Structures are given as C-alpha cells and as structure tokens.
Amino acid sequence: MALKESGSAALSATHSVLVRVAAVLALIAIWQLLVLARLWPPAVLPGPGQVWDQLLAASDSGNGQGGYAGSTVLERLGVSLRRVGYGTAYGVLVGVGLGLVMGLVPVVRAVVEPFVTFLRALPPLAYLSLLVIWFGIDEEPKVYLLLVAAFPPVAVATATAVTGVNRQYLEAAHALGANRLGVITTVVLPASAPEILTGIRLAVGIAYSSVVAAETVNGADGIGGMVLNAQRYNQTAVVLLGLVVIGVTGLLIDTALLALQRAVSPWRGRA
Amino acid sequence: MGEPLVELTGVAHSYRANRVDVPALGPLDLRVEPGEFLVVVGPSGSGKSTLLRLVSGFERPTTGAVEVLGGPPVPGRDVGTVFQQPRLFPWQSVAGNITTALRWAGVPGADRPQRTRGLLAQVGLVELGRRRTWEISGGQQQRVAIARALAARPRLLLMDEPFAALDALTRERLQEDVRSLTDGERAVVFVTHSVDEAVFLASRVVVLSDRPGRVALDLPVPLPRSGVPADELRGSAEFAALRGEVAGAVRAVAA
Ligand SMILES: Nc1ncnc2c1ncn2[C@@H]1O[C@H](COP(=O)(O)OP(=O)(O)O)[C@@H](O)[C@H]1O
Ligand SMILES: [Mg+2]
C-alpha cells in the first residue's frame, strides 16, 4: 500500500513544470508592458517581438551571413552546450571523486575544503587569464574554465552528503558482511545521490552562466560569442536574444535534472 | 554438549562519556549452545544492546573475552543481526535488499535470484519482492530484515527488540514465525523487555540486572517447541508459571 503524504512540502513534477512555465510567461508579459510604457527608447530596451524577429533572422542560415555572424543560433547553442557539457561532465567526475574522499577521510576534507571554497569565491573571469596562459586559446581553456567553475559545488555537496549518511545503514551493511568498497558503492553513493544531484544542478547552472565569460576568448562561434559580438555593435535585441536563449535552455536543463533527481530518489523523505 | 557458539568470560563493558567511564554491562559469564533460543530480558539501560554489540563484534569488551565460534567476532562474518528498526535500504526494492545481502555473503550471482525467492518465501512475502521498501507495512519490513539477516545462513542470529515498534497482533504473528528459527544448528539471541515475548520464544531466559547489567536469573524454558498451537501454549499453566518466575525476577531487579 502506497503511503499518501498529506500537505507534502514539495510540488509534484507536473506542478513544478507548470509553475516554471507560468513564471516565464509572466516575465515576458512584464517585459512587454515595460516596452509599451516607453520608459526607454527601443534601441535600449527592445520588446519581445523584436527579439523574436532577431531569433528568426539569426536562425536563417540562408540570410547572407549564415544566421548571425557566420552561424545560426542553433549551431551556436550546440557549440556552447557542448562546452558546458564537457566542462560539467569533467567537473562532476572531479567533484564526486574529490567529495567522496573528502567525506570519507576527515583529514582530507580539512585540508582540501579551504582550497575548494577559495576557488568557489573567484569569479570565472578572474582565472580565465591564467587558463589562457597555460592552455592557449583553443577549446581547452574554455572547458577547463567550466570545469573549475562546476566542480566545487559538486565536491562540497558530495562531501556533505557522504558525511551525513545515516550510520544505521552503514552498520547494517557491515553486519551483512559488506566490505569497504561494497559499503561505498551500495550504501554511501546511493544514499548521497539526491544531494549530489543538487550539487550537480548548481554546477550546471554555474557552468552555464559562465559560458559567456568562457567565450570571451576565441569563442565567437558560441552563444556567448554572439552576445559579445552584438554588444560591440550595440545590437541590443541580439544581446537580449542571447540572454533569453541561455536562460530558457538553462531552465530546461535544470528541469530535466530535477526530474532525474526525483526519478533516482523516489525514497527521499520517506525512509 | 559440544563447542559453545558464544562464550563470554568475565566480560564487562564501559562507555566513555564526558571523560568518565560509565559501566554499562557486567561483569558476566555466558555461554550459548547451538540450537538454543536465548532471550535476554532486562530494564532499559541494563546493557542488552551492548551485550549484542559485543557478540556481533561492533564493540570490544573493556575487560574479559568474547568468543564466537572459537574466536573474536568479526561483524558480518559469523553472525546475522536484526535491529529494532528494519534498516532496509530504501534505494533498493524489497528483493534487491535480499539480493544485496546474498552478494555480500558471497553467494554466486547465478544462484541469487532463486535464493532471494526462497528467502522471501520463508518470510511469506514472495509477492512483494518488487515493492519499494516504504510500500510495505512495518511488520513486513521487519520480515524482510529477518530474511536479509538469514541470507548468509548464519549459525547465530542476534535480534535487538525487533518487534518493539510493531502492534500487538503483528508482533504475535512474527513471534510465532521467529520461534522456529532455531530448527537445526542455529542459535538465536533475542533481546526484549517483554516478559511474555521472552517466555514464548525462549528455550532459555536470562534476566539482566539494572545498569550495569549482570545475570540476575538464568532459567531454562522447557516448553514444547513444535506441535502445540501458539494460543494453546500461551494459555497453558506451564507458560503462566514460567512467566510468573521471570516477571518476579524482572520486578526484583527494577526495584
Ligand atoms: N555509545 C554509547 N556511549 C555512551 N554510553 C552508551 C552508549 N551506548 C549505550 N550507552 C549507555 O550504556 C548503558 C546500556 O545501554 P544499552 O546497552 O543500550 O542498554 P539497553 O539496550 O538494555 O537499553 C546505558 O546507560 C546507555 O546510556
Ligand atoms: Mg537496547
């Protein structure tokens, strides 16, 4: 018999998607109202309609400039998503591995945590220069920048989750004859999965919001590159288009991760 | 009698709290023979859980020696444990919990599905294998915990107030099932503070004194272990007499 929770604190999956969609629609409505109020000239604050026109223009590869400055919005999005994908994937690997060791070995945590916190406090643009000196101006510095931005929240979330695993489960596992590796793979990691996924959601968000910074270096082919280019030529509508595309895809990715989190830990709050 | 399964010699245990040693158990001597169903009764705080933790190897005695199967106990090797809370892993299904225990017990992968079904059948839950652990009742969860503890076919099963959180009806039904666990060679050491439960389950009852717990009563329980319906047994004059004796000892140590 399934237990029905009354007055559950969390929204159901469908509800949370609906709420997100409603929030986006509300934002667009407010934006349109601000434009209609004519507080600023259209060159400073273009309306949703203008940005939509830009989207259509920049998506048309046959418009004589291959979309916008050589690539369509979709191509640019693909390039940026690939960078974010690699950056966060490596960041998650490093973060989960490091966080696991930090959580299991208190000494390691005491030594490593200040460095992780230090890195976390740095804005990505601040260490970009260093990465460019070390790795040149190809893909590496961009992916490494996103890695460095992505791994600290994953490491901290993993370490905290691992330290917080219910001791009763660990003892039950030992009582059943589990060895250290068995306890880690069968108890510690699954028990920590919900918190680790929260860390990953944070990491994807941070990496994604750092993509513009990463693409200031030879990244004109990405969505961040488009924003930087448009800024140079005062194309406000294109800048806004870039922001909207980054924002909306970021929201979609986070929604997918949230669904994944619910799927892998249906037991959360129940046991 | 042959080799004892468990032998405690001059065992005492203290916990260190706030820079002082707080004696929790003993000194006491205790032997458990194969096939015995030993129930330990005592007031709360008398060291019953400590006794089980010493036997399972989770705790080393402050003084004295604990031997299980002739050597110091190693958690998860010779002894199965059922805790007061089922402690099932909620990220695994009911059957998954048992399969995991079989894996840790070294059962080859090919044999695990069949053994899992067998263990579920033994506790009467074959149909519930695919359920989530929170989708079954507390009594069923504790049955799964028992099946899981039996996965390694331990010679010794330790149970620490496993039914304390269950309602009276569920508890009686589980008692009837657990009573037969000593069939053959296996011994059970079962902790409770219910006198009725102790006399019904036990082939021998040990009453611990108030903290630090020592053996206040060590009483064989010569009730028939099969062939007599549970209700008849609970209603018999012998049962009442034994219950009176154990209850008297419990009252004496609590005073
Ligand atoms: N980890 C511990 N640290 C300090 N004191 C403990 C610890 N575990 C138990 N005790 C103390 O030891 C005594 C016996 O505890 P326990 O074995 O749990 O008793 P019981 O199971 O009979 O209720 C109690 O006074 C308890 O407070
Ligand atoms: Mg106890």
Contacts of residue A27, Cβ cutoff 8 Å, sequence gap at least 6? none
Residue with CA nearest ligand 1 atom 1: B15
Determine contact, residues A149/A95, Cβ cutoff 8 Å.
no
Q: Is B17 touching ligand 1 by the criterion CB < 6 Å?
A: yes
Q: How far is A106 from A126, CA to CA, in rounded Å? A: 30
Could you give the 3-state DSSP secondary structure of residue B215? Answer: strand
Q: How close B160 gets to chain A, by Cα (Å)?
A: 13
Q: How many CB atoms lie within 10 A of CB B230?
A: 13
pLDDT at B184 over 80: no
- Of 2.30.30.40, 3.40.50.2300, 1.10.287.130, 1.10.3720.10, the CATH number of A70-264 is 1.10.3720.10
Q: How far is A185 from A208, CA to CA, in rounded Å? A: 30
Of residues B253 and B207, the one with the higher pLDDT is: B207
If asked whether residues B29 and B43 sit together in one domain, one would say: yes
Q: Is B211 touching ligand 1 by the criterion CB < 6 Å?
A: yes
Which positions in chain A touch B128 (Cβ < 8 Å)? none
Q: Is B44 touching ligand 1 by the criterion CB < 6 Å?
A: yes
The burial class, CB within 10 Å (0-12 / 13-18 / 19+), for B35 is middle
Could you give the 3-state DSSP secondary structure of residue A74? Answer: helix
Per-residue pLDDT reduced to its tens digit, B77-93: 889 999 999 999 999 99
Q: Which domain holds residue B47?
A: 6-78+155-254
Secondary structure of chain B: what % helix, strand, coil (to 5)? 40, 25, 35
Residue B1's pLDDT is 52
Could you give the 3-state DSSP secondary structure of residue B166? Answer: coil
Q: Please name which of B71, B5, B76 lies closest in space to residue B38, comparing C-alpha atoms.
A: B5
If asked whether residues B136 and B12 sit together in one domain, one would say: no
Structurally, how many domains does chain B consist of? 2
* Domain annotation covers residue B230: yes
pLDDT at B185 over 70: yes
Determine contact, residues A263/A255, Cβ cutoff 8 Å.
no
Sign of the alpha-carbon torsion through B78, A181, A268, A166: positive
Q: Final residue of a domain: which of B116, B135, B153?
A: B153
Residue A7's pLDDT is 45
Per-residue pLDDT reduced to its tens digit, B92-112: 999 999 999 999 999 999 999
Residue A184's pLDDT is 95
Q: Classify B159 in phi/psi space as left (phi over 0), alpha (psi -120 to 50) or beta.
A: beta
Which positions in chain A touch B81 (Cβ < 8 Å)? 172, 175
Which positions in chain A touch B58 (Cβ < 8 Å)? 171, 174-175
Which positions in chain B touch A3 (Cβ < 8 Å)? 134-135
If asked whether residues B67 and B93 sit together in one domain, one would say: no
If asked whether residues B176 and B193 sit together in one domain, one would say: yes
If asked whether residues B104 and B228 sit together in one domain, one would say: no
If asked whether residues B117 and B54 sit together in one domain, one would say: no
* Domain annotation covers residue B233: yes
CATH number at residue B162: 3.40.50.300
Q: How far is B182 from B201, CA to CA, in rounded Å? A: 10
Which positions in chain A touch B77 (Cβ < 8 Å)? 177
* Domain annotation covers residue B1: no
Query: Does the N-terminal peptide bond of residue B61 adopt cis geometry, omega within 30 degrees of 0?
Result: no
If asked whether residues B206 and B232 sit together in one domain, one would say: yes
pLDDT band of B2, cuts 50, 70, 90? low
Q: Final residue of a domain: which of B153, B184, B201?
A: B153
Q: How far is B122 from B116, CA to CA, in rounded Å? A: 10
Q: Final residue of a domain: which of B153, B168, B193?
A: B153
Sign of the alpha-carbon torsion through B180, B185, B189, B195: positive
Determine contact, residues B54/B66, Cβ cutoff 8 Å.
yes
Q: Please name which of A241, A235, A240, A219 lies closest in space to residue A74, comparing C-alpha atoms.
A: A241
If asked whether residues B104 and B214 sit together in one domain, one would say: no
Residue B192's pLDDT is 94
Q: How far is B35 from B38, CA to CA, in rounded Å? A: 9
Tokens 């979709």 sit on residue: A74
Q: Please name which of A178, A171, A182, A187 lies closest in space to residue B77, comparing C-alpha atoms.
A: A178
Interface of A with B in 127-186 (CB under 8 A): 168-169, 171-179, 182, 186
Question: Half-sphere exposure (CA, 13 Å, Cβ side) for B7?
Answer: 11
Residue A113's pLDDT is 92
If asked whether residues B70 and B95 sit together in one domain, one would say: no
> What's the whole-number mean pLDDT along residues B47-75?
93
Please report, for chain A, the start and end positions of each structural domain, with discontinuous segments joined by +: 1-31, 70-264
Tell me the CA–centroid distance for residue B24 and ligand 1, in Å. Answer: 6
Q: Please name which of B223, B187, B225 lies closest in space to residue B30, comparing C-alpha atoms.
A: B187
Q: Please name which of A135, A147, A159 lies closest in space to residue A94, comparing C-alpha atoms.
A: A147
Determine contact, residues A135/A144, Cβ cutoff 8 Å.
yes
Residue B117's pLDDT is 95
Q: How far is B25 from B209, CA to CA, in rounded Å? A: 9
Select from B11, B21, B41, B49 the residue to mutate for testing ligand 1; criterion: most ligand atoms less than 8 Å from CB: B49
Q: Virtual CA dihedral for A74, A79, A83, A86, nearest 10 degrees?
A: 90
Residue B49 sits at the chain A interface (C-beta within 8 Å):
no
Residue B101 sits at the chain A interface (C-beta within 8 Å):
yes
Name the residue of chain A whose CA is nearest to B148's CA: A176
| Contact between B133 and A267 using a beta-carbon 8 Å cutoff | yes
If asked whether residues B148 and B28 sit together in one domain, one would say: no
* Domain annotation covers residue B83: no
Q: Virtual CA dihedral for B240, B244, B245, B249, nearest 10 degrees?
A: 150
Q: How many CB atoms lie within 10 A of CB A151?
A: 30
pLDDT along chain A (271 residues), means of 10: 47 78 90 89 87 89 84 90 92 95 94 92 85 86 89 94 94 94 94 93 88 79 89 90 89 89 82 63
Could you give the 3-state DSSP secondary structure of residue A38? Answer: coil
Q: How far is A261 from A256, CA to CA, in rounded Å? A: 9
Tell me the CA–centroid distance for residue B195 and ligand 1, in Å. Answer: 21
Q: Please name which of A271, A268, A264 lies closest in space to residue A9, comparing C-alpha atoms.
A: A268
Q: How far is B95 from B113, CA to CA, in rounded Å? A: 9
Residue A167 DSSP class: H
If asked whether residues B236 and B146 sit together in one domain, one would say: no
| Contact between B76 and A175 using a beta-carbon 8 Å cutoff | yes
pLDDT at B220 over 60: yes
- Strands B79-82 and B156-160 turn out to be parallel
| Contact between B104 and A173 using a beta-carbon 8 Å cutoff | yes
Name the residue of chain B whose CA is nearest to A2's CA: B135
